[in-house]
Structure 1
């Protein structure tokens, strides 16, 4: 650590009674899983996450400018819909030498906390640990100061809070203006209180140590706030005997509405720090134990478990708006209808049903605010401002999600509540079908300029929406609508296989367009391929251009130009005919690298396979977790468990690559450091296809159709949540054990292994097929002809 020579401070004594913690955070976290970071990624982000507040900084303990949505402001401490601080810093001095602790040599990530280790001087070690309590607008930072030498040390310790109270993205649309930050020091409590001069936004911070000085501007660890922010410092004097260590804690709280609320939160987290940490540990143990996985592949098992933790990091609970799963950190910490159509399916499979319901309700609320026609919004800031009222793919896939929610939960009240939105949403989609051929016109998931004709993902998800709506209508007694929706679903299923299949490409089409439109898109794709130096793609596109140019008319036709990942959505939803699926899955395997599936196939670079080298924010050339997960699901749907597992192994190559315990949005180390849809990519193929869990909570029934990858002979999935039931499924070489907490539920087991003359609880089974129907709390199926 580079020393800074000390500038004398003005010392003022303040009254503050210390409260030594009974146990350090370091001790309380000692039995939790921990992931150590890599030295080469110490200058990349981490997140200390809570549902009300979170902090984003670098693994080396610094808080540099981060992000682009609000340029340079997406890091720091956020208490949505406002930011509290750009960060904080500890400075220590030993006589005349001053050290700023912003260059940690080690970083350790826990499911609920983070830790940095500093070695500023030969005889000093500092361990910083921070966590954010559940449902609190505050965070706690603990420093363990250790004297590793043989002489006593008298330290001056400065904690600088880099206050920057400011509103979230799109605040200008609701006429919110960021005012100058002002501050006062309370000598009675030993705390700084800062406020925005134009708004009711506040932050309070202090320590459990006696304060010997406070200062504004702050200490030498201040980086001179830009704009309306202000740095504030508190100083304590710490004496350390040889080989002694002391625990020092700092507390940060905030409020969108009042100073009193911020102070109440501050007092609560200061007085109950350890109990709040223990509560969070217990809650994360419950997350780990719900849909708990045990498989031979330890790397996949660890990725699965941590992805459940990662998803919880993204829950945002915002006063006045609601509670829901955000998309990603640091630049997408707000709510997306589109992203959640994927992510919430993974949360259903892993048992977070309450979080799914809250998110669905929030998205519906935000959508109805800007749309009165069933259209589901795409993106909204945490201040409630909707940025994009909805892409064409979002509404139909959200309808599909609603039926998934009903299957897992049996929540009939929610089904009745959302069915009118489903009806209106389908009517809106039909209005977007300009030529009446059943295919809505407009952009889907792919954000490629000019690509806004009839898109494969929009059509596939529309088919899924009609199929889901038919089942909803039937459940609610709307038989006429059910029949109509089913007819449309069958029509689209047939048409997707007839009109969207491109035999020459061995793939479903990217889009359908006229000859003129297609030629324009090919020209743009050639420019793209040349620009990013993909000669193989440019050559392929030039040949395609010749073929399209020879067409005699300008009628709409299906085309494969970009090899976008969405061409695989017919397999993701199981719509593709089996023979076409086999060819399409084989084609898709060509557009991968060691980390997964390319977003746009013509960006494939066979030499790529190392860390990303993007110099500016762009998804061109990206390999992303969502397309890779979709491919894992697609392979599994069509019985290829081993091929599916290969995609999960590609995801695992990016797990912990930069941020230990997490997967980036763009593999392996670009974009968001934690991404919501990763739970869909990882959990859905495992739970829904390898274990084959098919829930029908409304019937009090669950079907298992297992199809495990080679070598998964001893596996277990415990506490699978379906409705009010918890089911555990275990497979060994000798058979199956299935338990449940509700004895009146029916369990269906469908497996070719039932040909092995099974016994049920010691009694020979009478079987006429490879399907067993089971009731009761515990059933053990053993094979007699092994």
Structure 2
């Protein structure tokens, strides 16, 4: 019966399309999360796949961001910017108000809202930002309510801060920003602005609004070659009356005609476009839907899917893919997507993952030819900034295999040649013949040019993925070669990289002199941020290194960097070593999660200014915390893994409601793509134990649920064209499972530690059973 619901939903949606609901009627029926008063002067994001807007939650648009200094806010239609922002001024013959000090901020999956209580004018105003999914434009809806007992009249002025300018790295394409100019287009009731040196255009306006020459009381000082333009209209409202006004902003990096065409289309289809976007987000909500007894956790899991959709960006002529984060990383990363796309796959967002894979591969080939190296970072104008770090390529290859396992998309097999080249390229970076690539991985340690543990861990993971690809392609000899390499590397990780006196895997391997130099540098950094306990610890480490008899390259634990946990993340660590290393890692966390390095164990975090100065030293980033959760779960510690996910939950909605920052709780990118990896992968692949084999119509399920999850479900789990529902109830030492699927695929259930399994009336001894039908009820006795 569960699969009747999607069909009914589609029928209801198709009926609604003929009669769209009023804009604010639709909005008021949506889930929303209210912001905190203390964070009203921090950023928000409202996005579609073509355009997004970044401003402050209070309604202002200050200069923000550092990547293009002060320019990362405003309205962006990559690869160009349209506006630095916009602000409304409302005045009558006695007073005036600027909509820059909102009383409330609400975030929705499909947009964001600021509420202004203008007591001096007797008005309540809602400003709702809404970006249609696939359009080069923005709709700003204003609902104005007269709270007076009499009719009121006022002037409503929309101030647009025009700044048509190019994206980061445009200078490498010899693109030069020009002075902006504009004119009123009476025929369209729109103001059109153009960059003098480029075919960049933006059009904006509202019904019955015309250019105003009145002085802008809300004017802000800003840089750039743009200008301000005001549009005004006089409005009358009866007592208690509400009125909705729409302002449209459109743009084009090609022609005036295109900008005007979009402007007119959006003007005529506001309600329908809103409804279309709501339908899209409802699909995301229903896919891989998690229900636990902790609604806060459910909400975090659900909204991180929305966060991922916010970061999808389509740039014509370049491609469509998941960007890294907002506001400073609205471009594409091979490294970040090696993680983030695994989260999308586990969340059921397969289309988005496949689009991003195609884009990253295209950009990598542009940067590196056919040598198999995966690029690290590219701007939305197609310029490659970094052709690839050492960890980027192996992590991306392992993600490619997961994409094939989840989607069964045979086009992914077309990347098999790339996979083989990627293996060869990474192996070619071993400069001293010890099988370990030489150079920086995820964390770049100043002065280190030797070997990093995350690169080696991900190399192990890459060999397993390559072996799987080779087997599917019937290249069994090569598949065996890759597996042997993986096993040999696993053995070496547990010998060459283990440091028993620290109960930890090493950050890096180097000679003694380099290790001494790096430790001395770490002492200086720790002392500069006034961490005496860290200075003492590092001095003890330095003394130990100096007193050791060391010849050649050896493993060292200096920074206690989160990457020391990657052997557990990928399952390469021996059980005994994993248990010790995971216990050691508990010393390098606070209530928000795992530190980037071990230099800061304080209960409270360093201020953002210090983080900026010291390159995230001591920062608590979401990715390391997610890696630790995956590592704990992979070694059977579901309760400990959930503990780390609960730490991430402390950061969710902390500063931007409905979002999770890059650095917990409120620093870095306000929305970060890899958070989906940090949460969805441990929940779906580890707790529920979903291990798809879509290419052979098979699903392996190895549940390892936290003990507090006594009544949980995960519905509409998307695996190729199949859909799977799992629910579980725990009563003492018995777990009851109900599993249904759309197709009759083979399902292999494994319950570690189970004594008996009762399924469909049959009681068998053991912990494993194979089933093929669409619906099963199981009892597992432990």
User: TM over 0.5, yes or no?
Assistant: yes
Match of 1:475?
472
Structure 1 segment 135-534 matched on structure 2, within 5 A: 135-208=134-207, 210-211=208-209, 213-215=210-212, 219-223=216-220, 226-372=223-369, 373-415=371-413, 417-534=414-531
CA deviation string 1:595-633 (max 9, x = no partner): 0000001x2232425975648464122100000000000
Q: Which moved more, 1:232-241 or 1:728-737?
A: 728-737
Q: Which moved more, 1:129-138 or 1:749-758?
A: 749-758
Query: Does the CA contact (< 8 Å) of 1:397 and 1:464 recur in 2?
Result: yes
Match of 1:30?
28
Q: Which moved more, 1:331-340 or 1:294-303?
A: 294-303
Match of 2:548?
551
Return the alpha-carbon distance in structure 1 between the equivalents of residues 436 and 525 of structure 2: 28
Query: Does the CA contact (< 8 Å) of 1:52 and 1:134 recur in 2?
Result: yes
Shift of 1:764: 2.3
SS at match of 1:29: helix
Return the alpha-carbon distance in structure 2 between the equivalents of residues 185 and 65 of structure 1: 27
2:602 to 597, 602, 606: 606
Return the alpha-carbon distance in structure 1 between the equivalents of residues 176 and 714 of structure 2: 51
Query: Does the CA contact (< 8 Å) of 1:90 and 1:100 recur in 2?
Result: yes
Query: Does the CA contact (< 8 Å) of 1:218 and 1:233 recur in 2?
Result: no
Shift of 1:125: 1.1
Return the alpha-carbon distance in structure 1 between the equivalents of residues 20 and 244 of structure 2: 10
Return the alpha-carbon distance in structure 2 between the equivalents of residues 24 and 127 of structure 1: 15
Return the alpha-carbon distance in structure 2 between the equivalents of residues 616 and 401 of structure 1: 31
Query: Does the CA contact (< 8 Å) of 2:33 and 2:108 recur in 1?
Result: yes
Shift of 1:641: 0.6
Shift of 1:220: 2.8
CA deviation string 1:562-601 (max 9, x = no partner): 0000000000000000000000000001100010000001
Return the alpha-carbon distance in structure 1 between the equivalents of residues 350 and 777 of structure 2: 28
Shift of 1:305: 0.5
SS at match of 1:392: coil
Query: Does the CA contact (< 8 Å) of 2:701 and 2:748 recur in 1?
Result: yes
Shift of 1:769: 2.2
Query: Does the CA contact (< 8 Å) of 2:757 and 2:767 recur in 1?
Result: no
Cα 1:778–1:552 shift into 2, 3 Å: closer
Cα 1:204–1:342 shift into 2, 3 Å: same
Q: Does 1:755 align with 2:755?
A: yes
Return the alpha-carbon distance in structure 2 between the equivalents of residues 234 and 331 of structure 1: 30
Count of aligned positions: 757
Q: Which moved more, 1:590-599 or 1:478-487?
A: 478-487
Q: Does 1:715 align with 2:712?
A: yes
Structure 1 segment 598-637 matched on structure 2, within 5 A: 598-601=595-598, 603-608=599-604, 614=610, 616=612, 618-637=615-634
Return the alpha-carbon distance in structure 2 between the equivalents of residues 437 and 22 of structure 1: 65
Shift of 1:451: 2.7
Query: Does the CA contact (< 8 Å) of 1:664 and 1:673 recur in 2?
Result: yes
Gaps of 5+ in 1: 1-20
SS at match of 2:68: coil
Return the alpha-carbon distance in structure 2 between the equivalents of residues 236 and 719 of structure 1: 49
CA deviation string 1:650-670 (max 9, x = no partner): 001111110001110000000
Shift of 1:348: 0.5
Cα 1:721–1:201 shift into 2, 3 Å: same
Query: Does the CA contact (< 8 Å) of 1:181 and 1:229 recur in 2?
Result: yes
Cα 1:218–1:351 shift into 2, 3 Å: farther
Query: Does the CA contact (< 8 Å) of 1:529 and 1:538 recur in 2?
Result: yes
Match of 1:15?
none
Shift of 1:27: 1.9
Gaps of 5+ in 2: 1-18
Return the alpha-carbon distance in structure 1 between the equivalents of residues 649 and 511 of structure 2: 41
Query: Does the CA contact (< 8 Å) of 1:516 and 1:554 recur in 2?
Result: no
Cα 1:461–1:218 shift into 2, 3 Å: farther
Shift of 1:219: 2.9
How does the TM-score come out when normalised to structure 2? 0.95
Query: Does the CA contact (< 8 Å) of 1:403 and 1:472 recur in 2?
Result: yes
Return the alpha-carbon distance in structure 2 between the equivalents of residues 442 and 126 of structure 1: 55
Return the alpha-carbon distance in structure 2 between the equivalents of residues 356 and 538 of structure 1: 44
Return the alpha-carbon distance in structure 2 between the equivalents of residues 581 and 615 of structure 1: 30
Shift of 1:559: 0.4
CA deviation string 1:384-422 (max 9, x = no partner): 00000000000111111111111111123312x111111
Shift of 1:217: 8.5
Cα 1:398–1:757 shift into 2, 3 Å: closer
Return the alpha-carbon distance in structure 1 between the equivalents of residues 455 and 277 of structure 2: 40
Return the alpha-carbon distance in structure 1 between the equivalents of residues 387 and 240 of structure 2: 61
Cα 1:225–1:600 shift into 2, 3 Å: closer
Query: Does the CA contact (< 8 Å) of 2:102 and 2:114 recur in 1?
Result: yes
Shift of 1:552: 3.6
1:579 to 545, 567, 576: 576
Query: Does the CA contact (< 8 Å) of 1:611 and 1:668 recur in 2?
Result: no
Match of 1:103?
101
CA deviation string 1:68-109 (max 9, x = no partner): 011000000000000000011111111142211111111011
Query: Does the CA contact (< 8 Å) of 2:130 and 2:138 recur in 1?
Result: yes
Return the alpha-carbon distance in structure 1 between the equivalents of residues 479 and 523 of structure 2: 45
SS at match of 1:276: helix
Query: Does the CA contact (< 8 Å) of 2:58 and 2:102 recur in 1?
Result: yes
CA deviation string 1:243-273 (max 9, x = no partner): 1121111000011111111111111111111
Shift of 1:545: 1.4
How does the TM-score come out when normalised to structure 1? 0.94
Shift of 1:543: 1.5
2:82 to 81, 84, 100: 84
Query: Does the CA contact (< 8 Å) of 2:722 and 2:743 recur in 1?
Result: yes
Return the alpha-carbon distance in structure 1 between the equivalents of residues 434 and 723 of structure 2: 45
Shift of 1:782: 4.3
Query: Does the CA contact (< 8 Å) of 2:605 and 2:619 recur in 1?
Result: no
